[in-house]
Structure 1
Amino acid sequence: MRFLDVKTDYAFKRVFGSEGSKPVLISFLNAILNYQGEYAIVDLTIVDPYQIPMLMGMKDTYVDVKAVLGNGKHVIIEMQVLNVAGFEKRILHNAAKEYATQLVKGEDYTLLNPVIALTFTDFIMFEGSQEPISRFRLIERDRFIEYSDDVELMFVELPKFTLELNALDSIQDKWIFFVKNAGSLEYIPDTLASVPSINEAFSLINEAAMSREELEIQFKRRDFIILQRGSLKLAEERGVEKGREEGLEEGREEGREEGREEGRKLGELTKALEVASNLLDILDDASIVSMTGLNDEQVKLLRLAKKR
């Protein structure tokens, strides 16, 4: 078997945002958001479900799936494969927009439902943490008093998720492993196949069940992302190289400046020693120090050298 890479827009939408994805998405969100018992999602509506044939025109390097849970909470699920400028601000903007546009003019603010922006990234966002999952809410800066949980940003950094198949204990681990690794698998591992919704997700991205047109769309998207990632890496390497060259030139200039400064100081010292030598028979040591700027030790060494 061969499976599509879920990190590409076509596969991500096919699994989580197309017609028929509802049971899969319910299981996925319950696992990732860690909803259990009375808080578990039992129903949701996929907002503007994506029709697979419409994917031809997609040009963005990110995708999002929107759902409204049975309790009214809104969820935006996004897969971001490239770390582009403004990405963090766009996540916040989209969450705020989803929250604000629930109301029409004149409606009561109490009608606003909470929003969760769930973002999977194929790159590291938070260098200071090793945990793959991060959740952010509005809290007081110093006393950590929670202001509101109406807007929550949740990130899953795939490069930080390093568990192997035999170490997957929870359904949350299994779903994250699926998103990260499905495209590199050649069969459905038993530990994943034992979860019916994940098994269904694999059937949605099984290349054997797809038309030539569908596969061509996927391959083009995958190649486009590879090219974009390569371009970003090349730009970064060139930036580093340019910075190194500029740093070396700056260092050389600093070295030249330091050399000039050292030469100037040596010249001044030579001149002071010459003047002091001519004053040894005329003035005492204290007077010579005062006039030339030399120290007591230097003047004493001059007198000793003259006696020799």
Structure 2
Amino acid sequence: MKFANPTNDVAFRKVFGNKKKLALISFLNAVIKLPSRKPITKVTLLNPYQLPKLSGGKSTIVDVKATDGEGNNYLVEMQVTEATDFEKRIQYYVAQNYSGQIVQGNKYQKLKPIYFIGILKFNIGKNPNYFTKHRVHDVETQENVLKEMEFNFIQLKRFKKKIEDLITPIDQWAYFLKNAEDLEIIPKNVKDKGLKAAYLEADRHNWTKDEAEYYLKAEIKERDELGALELAEKRGEEKGRVEGRVEGRVEGRVEGRVEGRVEGIEIGEERMVEKIILSKYPKFSVAQLAELTDLTEDEVIAILKKHDKM
């Protein structure tokens, strides 16, 4: 077997968006715990699998939308790179899908819950666990009154478990998402029919010529996008270093000129004081010279001795 990378655009859609829906149902049950405690047994795909259009747009965001028999809605999204205001975007995205269930004038009771599942190749938040669940809770009582939206994140960078450490269904799914590309057989501890179906869908030996071709195109496109981001970051870092060096040199020169001017003023003032003392002595006494130049008598005497005037 030769498994595709499940986070690739084509492979992701093929695994989670195919008409059999066995893998998608298994995945949703692994991630979502419905209030009714009833497992999801049937889903309707709102955007079924088809080969993507790779000519335009970015391949870093891929999603699958579905609804179950109870009307609950599921948004499964794969995102490769962290975008600006990512957290705001997904809240807007979920809110838009939530409000889009009814038209103006319809009753709110028709609104059904939405469960967002984000499969990410980057980390969000401070929780070190790879799988996190976010809901709206009362700050004091932790009561979950606003139940209509839930956000779940599988952060693949934080997933470090080896095959022998997999305990829960979500562990096995996370392992599949992160490591399938490097495997040659389905792991022996995979018993779930839906997860097995996912491995089989990801087996490139069973793909059509077009699917294989588009998979490679999507892979190249993703690498190009990541390469462009890395290049931009490097250029930004290099620009920062250059600007830092220039600023440092400019600041050094300015500080040097300022210090030089200050030192010059101080040296000039010392010479002026010396001239006054030397020109007035011995017409004026040491005490009078000290008062005139705002020096101590000892300082006046030191200047006079320096020039052999005493």
In structure 1, distance between residues paired with 2:137 and 2:35:
27
Question: Can you give the 5+ residue segments of structure 2 that lack an aligned partner in the other structure?
Answer: 278-285
1:78-97 aligned within 5 A: 78-85=77-84, 87-97=86-96
2:176 to 175, 178, 185: 178
Question: Can you give the 5+ residue segments of structure 1 that lack an aligned partner in the other structure?
Answer: none
The answer to whether structure 1 residue 236 and structure 2 residue 242 are counterparts is: no
1:275–1:18 CA distance, 2 compared to 1 (3 A) = same
Given that 2:19 and 2:48 are in contact with CA atoms closer than 8 Å, whether structure 1 keeps it comes out as yes
Alignment TM-score, normalising by the size of structure 1: 0.85
In structure 1, distance between residues paired with 2:71 and 2:290:
92
Runs of 4+ in 1 over 6 A off after TM superposition: 140-145
Residue deviations 1:16-60 (CA, integer Å, cap 9, x gap): 111002x32222112123x28952423232332524xx3142554
Letter paired with 2:72: K
In structure 2, distance between residues paired with 1:151 and 1:301:
82
In structure 1, distance between residues paired with 2:288 and 2:18:
99
Letter paired with 2:131: I
In structure 2, distance between residues paired with 1:282 and 1:274:
19
Letter paired with 2:120: T
Residue 12 of structure 1 corresponds to 12
Shift of 1:241: 0.7
Residue 117 of structure 1 corresponds to 116
Residue 188 of structure 1 corresponds to 186
Identity of aligned residues (%): 30
Shift of 1:70: 3.6
1:122-141 aligned within 5 A: 122-126=121-125, 128-139=126-137
Residue 265 of structure 2 corresponds to 268
1:164 to 162, 170, 183: 162
Letter paired with 1:75: Y
In structure 2, distance between residues paired with 1:96 and 1:150:
10
In structure 1, distance between residues paired with 2:301 and 2:116:
82
State the aligned residue count: 295
Given that 1:5 and 1:183 are in contact with CA atoms closer than 8 Å, whether structure 2 keeps it comes out as yes
1:183-262 aligned within 5 A: 183-191=181-189, 193-262=190-259
Residue deviations 1:148-199 (CA, integer Å, cap 9, x gap): 23222222221111111122122111111111111221222212x3333211
1:71 partner SS: coil
Letter paired with 2:64: V
1:11-90 aligned within 5 A: 11-21=11-21, 23-33=22-32, 35=33, 38-51=36-49, 54-58=50-54, 59=56, 60-61=58-59, 62-85=61-84, 87-90=86-89
1:40–1:259 CA distance, 2 compared to 1 (3 A) = farther
Residue 149 of structure 2 corresponds to 151
2:148 partner SS: strand
In structure 2, distance between residues paired with 1:203 and 1:145:
42
- Per mean C-alpha deviation after superposition, the further-off stretch among 160-169 and 93-102 is 160-169
Which one has a bigger Cα radius of gyration?
A: 2
2:62 partner SS: strand
Given that 2:28 and 2:40 are in contact with CA atoms closer than 8 Å, whether structure 1 keeps it comes out as no
In structure 2, distance between residues paired with 1:29 and 1:42:
7
Shift of 1:144: 6.6
In structure 1, distance between residues paired with 2:290 and 2:30:
86
Residue deviations 1:81-110 (CA, integer Å, cap 9, x gap): 133445443322210111001112211112
1:269 partner SS: helix
Letter paired with 1:55: L
1:287–1:134 CA distance, 2 compared to 1 (3 A) = farther
Given that 1:26 and 1:41 are in contact with CA atoms closer than 8 Å, whether structure 2 keeps it comes out as no
Given that 2:274 and 2:303 are in contact with CA atoms closer than 8 Å, whether structure 1 keeps it comes out as no
Residue 280 of structure 2 corresponds to none
In structure 1, distance between residues paired with 2:143 and 2:66:
29
Given that 2:10 and 2:52 are in contact with CA atoms closer than 8 Å, whether structure 1 keeps it comes out as no
2:135 partner SS: strand
- Per mean C-alpha deviation after superposition, the further-off stretch among 54-63 and 114-123 is 54-63
